[in-house]
Amino acid sequence: MSTLVFLEHHGGELQKGALGVLSKAASLGDDRVAGAVVGSGVKDAAGGAGAYGAQTVYVFDDPRLEAPLPQPRVDALASLVQEEGFDTVLFAASVLSADTAAGLAARLDAGLNWDLVDLAREDGRLVGKRPALSDSVYVDVGWTSEPRIALIRSGSFDPAQTGGTADVQERQADIQDFSLAATMVEQAHEESEGPSIEDADIVVAGGRGLGSPDAFSLVEDLAKALGGAVGATRAVVDAGWYPYSTQVGQTGRTVSPKLYVACGISGAIQHKVGMQGSGVIVAINKDPNAPIFEFSDLGVVGDLHEILPKLTELIRARKGS
């Protein structure tokens, strides 16, 4: 068995999710576990994957690979998988990884299973565990041919250092014309300030139900009282109420704190995928039918403008005593 893990990078660093998947791959007992880093100016970051279990890291370093776009990455990975004969290719879910994995599946006529929360070797075959239909059923999925391609749900595996070193090999990508047709015109990325919400033990998040950007102060006050970080939904980030770096969800950060307090958040699938791994989920929403109540541990139907100030006061009093 030989597994290749796509190692996504951002800002010169390999992404935590990808390193988590790499650690998992290394724990499955394959003969070969390798990583692939595809980008421009990424050589320095690549070697670090050795510590998480990669024996080899293949680096495609090319100015044409600078923008985080999927199609040139499909070209690079397709040739690598074929030349090196990997039988399994794993991706940690992200916007870039999902598009790259699906393009690769079509290119190699290979099976893709997505949203997996675990991988196991059972009876000599690789089995993926996939929660389906709002996590109401867990499905054991597999592949009928090689290579097997999988997208792993965000936050499923934590990176684990094994202390190894990787042999870094440089490769040249043979990029097709159509893969370079889409071009990045502009990137408007904000660098987040302060501690990342991904590392916070407690996250208090606000959504449309707050009613106005000013009401975010209620969320901030509660987060401060609890010693947590503030999160936001895509809707309020789009509306300009709160910074992009705090967005939790499919197009934002994936968090799995010990406590997640959702204030005025309906719980759309877009948001759910970013926080469903949280330890305890408390939801406050005035709509008793909000989907968030289907996956919260404590659901409170009520007016958050009344509940939040009182809750903040009680927490402060408790911590002060």
Partner 1 sequence: MPKFAYVPLVRVRLVKIAVCVKQVPDAGAPKRLDPQTKRLDRSVEGALNPFDVNAVEAALRIKEAGEGEVVLVTLGPAKALESLRRALAMGADRAVLVSDDTAEGSDLVATSRILASVLEREGADLILFGQQSSDSDGAVLWSAVADRLKLPVVSQVAELDVGDGKVKAKRQTEFGYDVIEAPTPAVVAVSDAINEPRFPSLKGIMGAKSKPQETLSAGDLGLAADAVGEGGSRTEVYALHDPPARGDSVKIEDDAGAAEKIVDYLAEKKLV
Residues 3-62 that bind partner 1 (CB under 8 A): 10
Residue whose CB is less far from partner 1, 26 or 93: 93
What gap in Å lies between CA 47 and CA 38, rounded to an integer? 13
> Judged by CB under 8 A, which of 56, 259, 277, 305 binds partner 1?
259
Q: Are 286 and 301 in contact (CB under 8 A)?
A: yes
Query: Closest distance between partner 1 and the C-beta of residue 225, in Å?
Result: 9
112 binds partner 1 (CB under 8 A): yes
Amino acid 199 reads: D
Give the integer Cα–Cα distance in Å for 53 and 74.
23
Range 260-299, binding partner 1 (CB under 8 A) = 269-270, 280, 282, 284, 288, 293, 296-299
Q: State the number of binding residues for partner 1 (CB under 8 A).
A: 96
Residues 223-242 that bind partner 1 (CB under 8 A): 226, 234-235, 237-240
User: Given the complex with partner 1, which of 78 and 168 has the nearer CB atom?
Assistant: 78
Using the minimum distance from each CB to partner 1, give the nearer residue, 58 or 114. 114
Render the burial of 31-61: b for 16+ CB within 10 Å, e for the rest.
Answer: ebbbbbbbbeebeebbbbbbbbbbbbbbbbb
How far apart CA 92 and CA 8 sit, in angstroms, is 8
**Is the Cβ of residue 35 or residue 128 nearer to partner 1 in the bound state?**
128
Nearest to 255 by CA among 237, 291, 280: 280
Q: For the segment 64-83, give every residue that binds partner 1 (CB under 8 A).
A: 68-71, 74
**How many angstroms separate the CA atoms of 302 and 248, rounded?**
23
Show contacts with partner 1 in window 137-196 (CB under 8 A): 137-145, 151, 176, 178, 181-190
In the complex with partner 1, the residue whose CB is nearer, 10 or 158, is 10
Inter-residue contact 256 to 196 (CB < 8 Å): no
